[in-house]
Amino acid sequence: MTDQPLRLLIVDDHPAFRAGLRLLLESLSEIEIEVVAEAEDGEQALQVAIALAPDVIVMDLQMPGLGGIETTRRIVAATPHVRVLVLTMLEDDSSVFAALRAGAHGYLLKGAGQQQLARAIQAIAGGESIFSPPIAKRVIESFKRPGVNQPLVFPELTEREREILDLVARGLSNPDITRQLVLSPKTVRNHISNIFAKLQARDRSAAIVRAREAGLGLDPPS
């Protein structure tokens, strides 16, 4: 840590929220912060992060186009020294653990107090990780569950549907899935239709984005 102001990038698709957060951050007495840029979506955030290399990115998860989880994954891969603090309304297990797998260094809920936000930014800039109390409790409890390393992804899907979604996210076509799982083409088509409906995904590409944001389809097939 140096005496220079911490350089921040705010990523959120709501202009009023970005303006309010900027005002709050730049008025903190605990630390000196310079908001070097704002971004309204993931694509813009990725470009700005690479160009400006801020110390900390305050990242929303729900944004049109490229979501916050995939944006975090790409930023961390492109600029490993940049630290990402998720600031979101989402507190479900899928979002929390997908964000952590993507490389987020902290996870706060919107509505966090000024002191909590200041402490989180300082900690993350200093190389620590920090979470809102309810999120921290959930992370700790997940490691206490015998035989369970992480919560079930997309609990609304059946086990077979999750298996097929994982293969879809790996880029396999319907005929590939049919051969690999020894299922009929009609059965695979029906499962994929059910997956799209349950995830409210308009097409295959949208389902792949949702799946990869949740951590599916990222590891090599076993």
**Residue 199's domain is classified under what CATH number?**
1.10.10.10
Q: What SS3 string covers 182-200?
A: CCCHHHHHHHHHHHHHHHC
Phi, psi torsion values for 116, nearest 5 degrees: -65, -40
Residue 175 reports pLDDT greater than 90: yes
Amino acid at 47: Q
Residue 99 reports pLDDT greater than 80: yes
Specify the pLDDT at position 209: 86
Q: Which domain holds residue 178?
A: 159-213
Average pLDDT score over residue span 154-179: 89
Q: Do residues 131 and 174 both lie within one domain?
A: no
Average pLDDT score over residue span 129-152: 67
19 inside domain: yes
Q: Do residues 167 and 102 both lie within one domain?
A: no
Q: Do residues 16 and 88 both lie within one domain?
A: yes
Q: Do residues 67 and 128 both lie within one domain?
A: yes
Specify the pLDDT at position 131: 87
Rounded Cα distance, 133 and 152, in Å: 21
Specify the pLDDT at position 1: 45
18 inside domain: yes
What does DSSP assign to residue 88?
E
Q: Do residues 95 and 196 both lie within one domain?
A: no
The answer to whether residues 108 and 124 touch, using CB atoms and an 8 Å cutoff, is no
Residue 150 reports pLDDT greater than 70: no
Pairing state between β 33-39 and 83-88: unpaired
Nearby residues of 22 by Cβ (< 8 Å), 6 or more positions away: 10, 35, 38
Q: What percent of the chain has pLDDT over 70?
A: 90
184 inside domain: yes
150 inside domain: no
Mapped onto helix, strand or coil, the DSSP state of residue 58 is strand
220 inside domain: no
Q: Do residues 119 and 197 both lie within one domain?
A: no
Rounded Cα distance, 9 and 84, in Å: 9
221 inside domain: no
On the CB side of 84, CA atoms within 13 Å amount to: 28
Average pLDDT score over residue span 40-51: 95
Give tens-digit pLDDT for 52-80.
Answer: 999 999 999 988 888 898 899 899 989 98
